[in-house]
């Protein structure tokens, strides 16, 4: 391979044939080799299972420097956003590219409020689910069903339709999620209240009942808002790539977000917050940590420390730093002095950060490590943890979907493969098969 600042030239040692490929430079971060013409010019595909070295699109939304532990949304650092902003502001930022001014903020919040109710008919879907259904299954099904309700906003070529679908999704997802929780408890659904903020309203719809007034604790609604901000977007992760791939065929945005929810559910992705809490509960006491760490390091045991490691971060996940602090704030506010799970988490983190296995492999706590403890303290059952992730990530998914549709270079996503199966062989009639 030979290289200039803007090209790489590859030589096929077998045929001696050369191909020169452009190198594209982003605003920050590693440059990429543009291989779009590689197959046409050489007959080779690239091979990258898990996409560890593949950039799938151009994007201006989110930047991650995994070595330095940096996460920026539209250029703003995640810790500054979590400290100084609100979730609706971050939604506006991701969708529109800039932080809203006072009027834009008011208008946007009012739009989200006006779209927060769901069609009354949609409530009937819930009774089709078993009461013990996992709320992620319910969320996925009901969100997918939205496409049957909003025919007036699914022309993906119309910018107004794209925007109104985006607003509908961001506004309705907390209502749908809270209803999934209410359904599992047998309590009546709570209609959204437009006098509350996004996070307050979600807590009200989840924990309020029609029997008595519900007072939202400001520290808890602030924590909820922060948790939403920390999960809002994260570049081309599995669920976002799923949304983009589903959307690349021209599928409607509601169906694409349902696909994203399905992808998020897995324990290697958004399902990790639920898995972390289960793991901490299983560990049960600080004295068992050495045994757990030993298992996590054992090549013959497929147990992993949940909430540790990340495909991109090879440093402390900046979201985990904020989450850790929020965890202490929430437990303090709730007067929880002795939370054995927090003691186990802190000890586990300490040991793992010093253990050569974790140090060498650069396995640091990720966003999911502390979030479960906070959510449990706030009263959410573990099965709702990934649902909350999905509520927050909806804005990231829909902003990425919109960016993709508006990208003139957009094509249907269609990876190729390295075929290792049978080569062509004659059909064997049934009577002759052994």
Contact positions vs ligand CMC (CB under 6 A): 234, 237, 268-270, 272, 296, 304-311, 361, 363, 366-368
Look up residue 70 and give its two tokens.
């940096």
Closest residue to ligand CMC using C-beta atoms: 309
CB of 315 to ligand CMC, least distance (A): 13
Nearest to 261 by CA among 157, 161, 159, 180: 180
CA atoms of 339 and 31, how far apart (whole Å): 46
Active-site annotation holds for 98: no
CB of 306 to ligand CMC, least distance (A): 5
Of 21 and 395, which has the nearer Cβ to ligand CMC?
395
Told to judge if 310 belongs to the known catalytic residues of this protein, a careful annotator would answer yes
Q: How many whole angstroms separate alpha carbon 164 and alpha carbon 153?
A: 7
Considering beta carbons, is residue 247 or 270 the nearer one to ligand CMC?
270
Two tokens at 16?
């001696």
Residue tagged 């078993």 (tokens) = 130
C-beta separation of 263 from 428 below 8 A: no
How far, in Å, are 125, 264, 362, 390 from residue 183 at the CA level?
Answer: 11, 21, 41, 18
Minimum distance, C-beta of residue 245 to ligand CMC, in the bound complex (Å):
17
Nearest-CA neighbor of 139 among 169, 180, 170? 180
Dist. CA 317–CA 411, nearest whole Å: 32
β-pair type (62-65, 32-33): unpaired
Dist. CA 56–CA 59, nearest whole Å: 9
| Nearer Cβ to ligand CMC (176/363) | 363
Nearer to ligand CMC (CB atom), residue 304 or residue 328: 304
The active-site residue out of 225, 233, 317, 368 is 368
Nearer to ligand CMC, 111 or 277 (CB): 277
From 73, 234, 310, 317, the catalytic residue: 310
- Shortest separation between residue 322's beta carbon and ligand CMC, angstroms: 14
Cα–Cα–Cα angle for 214, 230, 133, rounded to 5 degrees: 60
Q: How far is the CB of 314 from ligand CMC (least distance, A)?
A: 10
What positions carry a catalytic annotation?
A: 310, 368
């Amino acid at each position: 391979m030979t290289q200039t600042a803007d090209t790489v030239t590859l030589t096929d040692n077998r045929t001696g044939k050369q191909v020169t490929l452009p190198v594209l430079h982003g605003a920050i971060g590693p440059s990429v080799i543009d291989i779009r013409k590689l197959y046409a010019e050489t007959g080779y595909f690239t091979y990258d299972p898990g996409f560890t070295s593949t950039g799938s699109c151009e994007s201006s939304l989110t930047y991650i420097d995994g070595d330095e532990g940096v996460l920026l949304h539209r250029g703003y650092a995640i810790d500054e956003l979590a400290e100084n902003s609100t979730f609706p502001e971050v939604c506006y930022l991701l969708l529109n590219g800039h932080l809203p001014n006072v009027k834009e903020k008011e208008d946007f919040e009012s739009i989200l409020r006006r779209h927060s109710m769901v069609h009354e008919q949609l409530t009937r879907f819930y009774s089709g689910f078993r009461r013990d259904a996992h709320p992620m299954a319910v969320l996925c099904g009901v969100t997918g069903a939205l496409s049957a309700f909003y025919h007036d906003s699914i022309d993906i070529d119309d910018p107004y339709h794209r925007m109104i679908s985006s607003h509908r999704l961001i506004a309705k997802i907390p209502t749908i999620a809270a209803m999934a929780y209410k359904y599992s408890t047998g309590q009546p659904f709570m209609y959204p209240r437009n006098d509350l903020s996004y996070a307050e309203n979600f807590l009200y719809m989840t924990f309020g009942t029609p029997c008595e007034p519900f007072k939202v604790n400001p520290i808890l609604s602030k924590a909820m808002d922060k948790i939403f901000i920390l999960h809002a977007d994260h570049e081309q992760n599995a669920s976002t790539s799923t949304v983009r791939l589903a959307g690349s065929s021209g599928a409607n945005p509601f169906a694409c977000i349902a696909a994203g929810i399905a992808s998020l559910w897995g324990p290697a992705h958004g399902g990790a917050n639920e898995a972390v809490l289960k793991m901490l509960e299983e560990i049960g006491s600080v004295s068992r940590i050495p045994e757990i760490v030993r298992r996590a390091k054992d090549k013959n045991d497929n147990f992993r420390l949940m909430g540790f490691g990340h495909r991109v971060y090879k440093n402390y996940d900046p979201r985990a730093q904020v989450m850790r602090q929020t965890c202490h704030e929430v437990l303090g506010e709730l007067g929880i002095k002795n939370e054995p799970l927090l003691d186990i988490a802190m000890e586990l983190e300490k040991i793992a950060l010093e253990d050569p296995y974790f140090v060498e492999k650069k396995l640091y706590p990720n966003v999911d490590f502390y979030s479960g403890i906070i959510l449990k303290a706030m009263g959410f059952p573990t099965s709702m943890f990934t649902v909350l992730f999905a509520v927050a990530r909806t804005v990231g998914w829909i902003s990425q979907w919109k960016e993709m549709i508006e990208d003139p270079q957009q094509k249907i996503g269609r990876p190729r493969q390295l075929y290792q199966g049978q080569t062509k062989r004659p059909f064997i009639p049934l009577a002759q098969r052994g």
